[in-house]
Amino acid sequence: MRILVTGGDGMVGSAVVRHLLATGHEVTTLSLPGVTPHDGVRVVYGDARSPGAVAAAVDGADAVAHLAAIPNPLDDPAPTVFANNTQATFTVLWTAAEHGVRRFAIASSVSAAGRSFNPHRPLPAAYPVDESMPADLGDPYGLSKHVDELTLATVCRRFGASGVALRLPLMIAPTNLAFMRRVTAEDPGGEAGNGWAWLDVRDGAEAFRLALTVPLDGSTGGAHTVHLAAAEIFPEGASTEELLARHAPGVPRRRSFAAREVPVDTGRACALLGFDPVHRVPDPGTSP
């Protein structure tokens, strides 16, 4: 396939580009000026919020993987985070659909449910966490991802397209492994709302490939939202049941969890895409 990747120069986007190339696809990236391009890709320089830049980049594409976004609400003003992310998503998807693209995968986030950067630190209605649980939004980044999912559904409905919003959890690569270990050690309850879920960027890249290539016809057409997670929780040491008892004692559990099993239901991603993550938590002192 000929695939446009936006945000292909970021940590997750770079893994997606490499994986798509390695699995035989032709890749175009829409990259900001001054970014060093990946080898083996067609590059169009421009902003994902620009219809002209998107039109040039999507020319001849069969599918779009959209990852361009401000990745958190911590370093930019709230209006900038929300406006940038939602405008980029709408512009990329709508413009691509106008140019004939009918297959999309977007980088959503567990933040779309409101349990990452929300200062109230809400917990889910129950464990395991799943896609049906209502959002409890309290930050501009989570709100932008929630709106992005609605944008995907709207574009798929308007143009008869198919797409998947991949709710990415904490994403781990060699470049951020040590930092994420330190953060989770300092605040072991910080990711309770998301079930301490994480994913290796290589598994994330495979999820994007599947989301763009697995048939989504008939009853499975349209837009879909799926949770992604590795099989085990990220923080070292405690078991899942111990963490739940300590940090979410009042939240119902629909079942018990073995050892370090992630309390997140990824059954929809498995059933729809055949997603089966293979990378485990690296041993301390090692890289993924």
Whether residue 283 is contained in a domain is answered as no
Whether residue 178 is contained in a domain is answered as yes
Whether residue 139 is contained in a domain is answered as yes
Task: Assign residue 23 the CATH number of its domain.
Answer: 3.40.50.720
| Per-residue pLDDT of the chain in tens (288 residues, 90 and over written 9) | 999 999 999 999 999 999 999 999 999 999 999 999 999 999 999 999 999 999 999 999 999 999 999 999 999 999 999 999 999 999 999 999 999 999 999 999 999 999 999 999 999 999 999 999 999 999 999 999 999 999 999 999 999 999 999 999 999 999 999 899 998 889 999 999 999 999 999 999 999 999 999 998 766 679 999 999 999 999 778 899 999 999 999 999 999 999 999 999 999 999 999 999 999 876 555 544
Domain that holds residue 187: 2-273
Whether residue 288 is contained in a domain is answered as no
Q: How many domains does the chain have?
A: 1
Neighbours of 20 (CB within 10 A): 24
Whether residue 90 is contained in a domain is answered as yes
Whether residue 121 is contained in a domain is answered as yes
- pTM, two decimals, is 0.96
> Three-class SS string for the chain?
CEEEEECCCCHHHHHHHHHHHHCCCEEEEEECCCCCCCCCCEEEECCCCCHHHHHHHHCCCCEEEECCCCCCCCCCCHHHHHHHHHHHHHHHHHHHHHCCCCEEEEEEEHHHHCCCCCCCCCCCCCECECCCCCCCCCCHHHHHHHHHHHHHHHHHHHHCCEEEEEEECEEECCCCHHHHHHHHHHCCCCCHHHCCCEEEHHHHHHHHHHHHHCCCCHHHCEEEEEECCCCECCCCCCCHHHHHHHHCCCCCECCCCCCCECCECCHHHHHHHCCCCCCCCCCCCCCC
